[in-house]
A and B are shown apart, each in its own frame.
Chain A
């Protein structure tokens, strides 16, 4: 199934400037692999050498951080919206 993926500014050089792309994937892990196939270079930005999502990368499925779901194993359904968002500071 295909889902919409929102691409943050720092990664748009790799998507030809697109702020949203449509990608197939049954899980977040598969989605990232398919993103890499469509836009080479994306995976190493998102994942470390062990394939884990980098510390400063937040991936959301609809409104939930995948760290609260099943991480890379998080299942995707048709029509889901995935957002990739850099961590930002604030508070106090």
Chain B
């Protein structure tokens, strides 16, 4: 590829610019740093035809991802299906509904494979040999797997009480897995201090500006898969709020580069009521985010002090979207509905996204007659505890035709006789 268009790291608060280094906080005001680009350098060069000529993975948009040259980690990641959800459309009474299904993202079944691919490729460029993260589970698995494949050492830090599937889904890769007695916010705080002390690439601490950019690939794919257009409405689950801001950034970049028309896309955020500091701020009409002590089965969204909450709030309000939150019971009901109508087993965060979308359709915040995309970011096999008591158990019978006939008759099933 031609020269990189990455210009600098820039403070989102005060605008101070920094060279491309493993750093994430403005030295002056503590604001978060973001990668900024010289888009002019791509004018006329980054075309639909060029993108379509490339392999189907997230790196077909590599000019807009902040690495030099080719990715050294996760070169196959991304490009998940965008599913037209016809059955769910009927149930919800909407005319055009899509599921962006990152529950099948390669290789660890969550959208975190996108951000990790960028973070670890960048970490390798910076010369790191050990990578680490603070995680609610999916990130731990993704860092562990992608680090293993890239021959990097890894340390992953998680809350001690995560779902078994998430713990196993990281541990299997031979990572050093540390359970912290406390909530994610405690893990986060410890990692922030560990990152300052050990010379590691912490994907969501010192290489976070690069890591976070990986999320944009989800947005790029949605637009390409819709036939080079943006949806009118897109619903995103919120933990720290980062994905909301990056989906919005991806759309603005494609508009700026002339790849799509501006559809006036509105961005909507979804949280569980047990941890809803961002949705509460949107509903209250303020930009003040009050931290909370998180308590929900949607553990991957259980961040009581969301680092990007302020910016997610702003994106939602500026784009004309809204935010909602739902109870844990509604999360489980929505997980089941998605599975039964579309054959997609999403993790709890997916239940949050669908459940909040339903609530906003009912309240009229999401119109029924315009295109809506729901972002499903993780796989239900990793959060089985949430639904294990809510689904039908197998009916046990002997290997006997007679017994099955009785069962079929009870179900009212006709046989050929």
B137 CB to closest chain A CB (Å) equals 9
A90 and B240 within 8 A (CB): yes
Chain B residues whose C-beta falls within 8 Å of the C-beta of A45 in the assembled complex? 28-30
B13 at the interface (CB under 8 A from A): yes
- Tell me the bound Cα distance from A56 to B378 in angstroms: 28
A89 CB to closest chain B CB (Å) equals 4
A88 and B301 within 8 A (CB): no
- Tell me the bound Cα distance from A15 to B32 in angstroms: 22
Q: A55-B310, A68-B291, A83-B193 are in contact. Are A90 and B29 (CB under 8 A)?
A: no
A30 at the interface (CB under 8 A from B): no
Least CB separation from B29: chain A residue: A54
Chain B residues whose C-beta falls within 8 Å of the C-beta of A39 in the assembled complex? none
* Residue from A6, A9, A65, A89 whose CB has the most chain B CB atoms within 10 Å: A89
A65 and B204 within 8 A (CB): no
A43 CB to closest chain B CB (Å) equals 12
B86 at the interface (CB under 8 A from A): no
Chain A residues whose C-beta falls within 8 Å of the C-beta of B31 in the assembled complex? 56
Kindly identify, within residues 219 to 271 of chain B, every residue whose CB is under 8 Å from any CB belonging to chain A. Answer: 237, 239-243
B324 at the interface (CB under 8 A from A): no
B208 CB to closest chain A CB (Å) equals 6
B192 and A86 within 8 A (CB): yes
> Interface code B197-209, partner A: CB below 8 Å = 1, 0 otherwise?
1000000110010
B377 CB to closest chain A CB (Å) equals 5
Chain A residues whose C-beta falls within 8 Å of the C-beta of B195 in the assembled complex? 9
Chain A residues whose C-beta falls within 8 Å of the C-beta of B155 in the assembled complex? none
Number of A-B residue pairs, CB cutoff 8 Å, is: 112
Q: A45-B28, A58-B305 are in contact. Are A92 and B378 (CB under 8 A)?
A: yes
- Tell me the bound Cα distance from A22 to B290 in angstroms: 30
Chain B residues whose C-beta falls within 8 Å of the C-beta of A56 in the assembled complex? 13, 25, 29-32, 307
- Tell me the bound Cα distance from A45 to B16 in angstroms: 14
A40 at the interface (CB under 8 A from B): no
A86 CB to closest chain B CB (Å) equals 4
- Tell me the bound Cα distance from A83 to B308 in angstroms: 21
A91 and B29 within 8 A (CB): no
Chain A residues whose C-beta falls within 8 Å of the C-beta of B205 in the assembled complex? 88
Q: A8-B193, A56-B31 are in contact. Are A90 and B139 (CB under 8 A)?
A: yes
Tell me which of B183-191, B359-367, B385-393, B408-416 binds A.
B183-191
A/B interface sample: 6 pairs, CB < 8 A = A19-B197, A56-B32, A65-B185, A88-B191, A92-B138, A92-B239
Show the binding face of B for A, using Cβ within 8 Å: 13, 23-32, 110-112, 133-136, 138-139, 182, 184-186, 188-189, 191-193, 195-197, 204-205, 208, 212, 237, 239-243, 290-291, 293, 300-303, 305-308, 310, 349, 377-378
Show the binding face of A for B, using Cβ within 8 Å: 6, 8-10, 13, 19, 45-46, 54-58, 60, 63, 65, 67-68, 83, 85-92
Name 17 extra pairs, CB < 8 A, besides A83-B193, A87-B307, A92-B349: A8-B192, A9-B196, A13-B27, A45-B28, A56-B30, A63-B182, A68-B293, A87-B305, A88-B307, A89-B204, A89-B208, A89-B240, A89-B307, A90-B204, A90-B240, A92-B112, A92-B237
Q: Give the 3 A-B residue pairs with the shortest CB-CB distance, closest first.
A: A91-B239, A87-B307, A9-B196
